[in-house]
Amino acid sequence: MPAIRPLACAMLVATWFLYLPVHSGPAHAQDGQMPPPAVGVVTVQPRQVPRIVTLPGRAVAQAEAAIRPRVGGLVTEILYQPGTALEQGAPMFRIDPTTYQANLSSAEANVASARAALTQAETSFSRTKRLLGSGTTQAQVDESRATLEQARAALQGAEAALTLAQAELDWTTVTSPIDGMASVAAVSVGDLVTANQADALATVTRLDPIEVDMYEPSARMLSLREDISKGRLQLTKKIQATLTLETGETYAATGELVAPGFTVSTSTGAVDTRFRFDNPRRLLLPGMFLRGQINLGTTEAFLVTQNAATRDKTGQLSAWVVRGGKAVRVALTDNGTWQHHWIVTEGLEPGDLLAVDNLSALTEGAAVTAVPVTMDENGVVQEQPAAETPEAPAPTVPAQAAPAAE
């Protein structure tokens, strides 16, 4: 009998512990109810936010010249290397100058003859005028004056022909009218070209600086003008733009506004606005598709991280806020993005608790526990410092029964 007493005592103690209440959570959890879900929130306040609009764009050359001959003849020489940078006035083609040299010599001879005739006419008029009344009549003086005027006109015409002949001889060397990059020649040595022909001999394109056309929907333009008129948007003194390349790389240079658009495309409903960018490395080429970000100014709005808001099938943006300890879904009106945030102008109130974490646990009107959190510059929720984290009540764990002595 004495050997089984310790075992019986141990069984008695274990049976007694089975009837003790277990305190493992808050008081309302004892009634079979789940505690409100904890939701990470941040307090939102309106602030001055840069108003940046993102638009599709396309690069266009600031200047592009189609090189055509101004005189006809055989191409005798190609004077440039394709794909090289040319300066204004650089020679590109040479046309056989034989005919034009002969025309120049003939024009020079005509000028010399006209000058001799003018000299003779001036001498005759001077002599006739001096002898008026003593051997010559007024009619003779008038006739001599007319001959002098004709000689002057003939000299002027001869000099004009000489200028044209010299110009045509100079045009036998075809030069670049602008600075830029030269294309491959469309003709070869020995080809016959004509003055002002339709086909270009080559093309010279200026790539630095380069211009970019950005296309803004007319509806957005009207909305921006309304925001400006009502004071919701403060324009900057100098409107600038940045570019994103097709590879996702941000272009280093900042562009300046060249000319706003004044017409709406009948096919796209967009307004074409042109910006100019420095392009020293010739990274941007005409025809390249780009994405532009235009900094219009500042507007007072709320910044809502993109992770905390969603869009429905109609495009309506919405987010969760905690008001009165309950989750409320609010519709938002946005005006673009800035640094991973939506720029929200309507739908939020100063001091609202915006839900940013554990959003899947939220339902409309459900009670929640708001837990303040912090977010980094990319909109990612960070752990709250230990000093700011609310302490949860420690659960009461039943004591373990001591092992029975053997």
Q: What percent of the chain has pLDDT over 90?
A: 43
Say if residue 268 is in the same domain as residue 331.
yes
Residues of the chain by 3-state class (helix, strand, coil), percent to 5: 25, 40, 35
Highest mean pLDDT among 2-6, 24-28, 199-203: 199-203
Q: What is the arithmetic mean of pLDDT over 9-17? A: 39
Count of other CB atoms within 10 angstroms of residue 372: 13
Q: What is the pLDDT of residue 377?
A: 66
CATH of the domain at 342: 2.40.30.170
Is 405 within the bounds of a domain? Answer: no
- Total domains present in the chain: 3
Structure-model confidence comparison of residues 12 and 177, the more confident one: 177
What's the N-to-C CA distance of the chain in angstroms? 14
| DSSP H or E segment with residue 52 | strand 47-67
* Residue 276 predicted with pLDDT over 50: yes
Same structural domain for residues 357 and 376?
yes
Is 262 domain-assigned? yes
359-368 residue pLDDT tens: 888 888 888 8
Do 91 and 109 lie in a common domain?
Answer: no
Residue 274: the pLDDT is 92
Q: Are residues 90 and 103 in the same domain?
A: no
pLDDT of 73 > 90? The answer is yes
Assess if residue 139 is contained within a domain: yes
Contacts 24+ apart (CB under 8 A), 76-81: 76/189, 77/189, 78/185, 78/187, 78/188, 78/189, 79/173, 80/176, 80/182, 81/182
Q: Is residue 395 one of the residues assigned to a domain? A: no
> Given phi > 0 = left and psi -120 to 50 = alpha, else beta, which region is 111?
alpha
Q: What is the pLDDT of residue 154?
A: 94
* pLDDT digits 0-9 by tens, 304-339: 888 888 998 888 999 999 998 889 999 998 877 788
Task: Judge if 353 and 382 occupy the same domain.
Answer: yes
Please, which pLDDT band fits residue 141 given cuts at 50, 70 and 90? confident
Domain containing 179 equals 69-95+174-199
| Confidence band for 33, pLDDT divided at 50, 70 and 90 | low
Q: Compute the distance between CA of residue 114 and CA of residue 148 in angstroms, rounded to an integer.
A: 11
Q: Higher pLDDT residue, 51 or 81?
A: 81
pLDDT of residue 29: 46
Task: Phi first, then psi: give them for residue 36, nearest 5 degrees.
Answer: -60, 140
| Mean pLDDT, residues 199-218 | 92
The answer to the question of residue 368 being in a domain is: yes
Residues 86 and 218 in one domain: no
Q: Is the pLDDT of residue 386 over 60?
A: no
Burial of 49 (0-12, 13-18, 19+ CB in 10 A): buried
Are residues 302 and 379 located together in one domain of the fold? yes
Which tokens belong to 261? Answer: 């658009």
Segment (H or E) for 125: helix 98-130
d(CA 181, CA 317): 48
| pLDDT of amino acid 27 | 42
Is 238 within a domain?
yes
Element (H, E) at 106: helix 98-130
Predicted TM-score (pTM) of the model is 0.64
What CATH number is attached to the domain comprising 155?
A: 1.10.287
pLDDT category of residue 211 using cuts at 50, 70 and 90 = very high
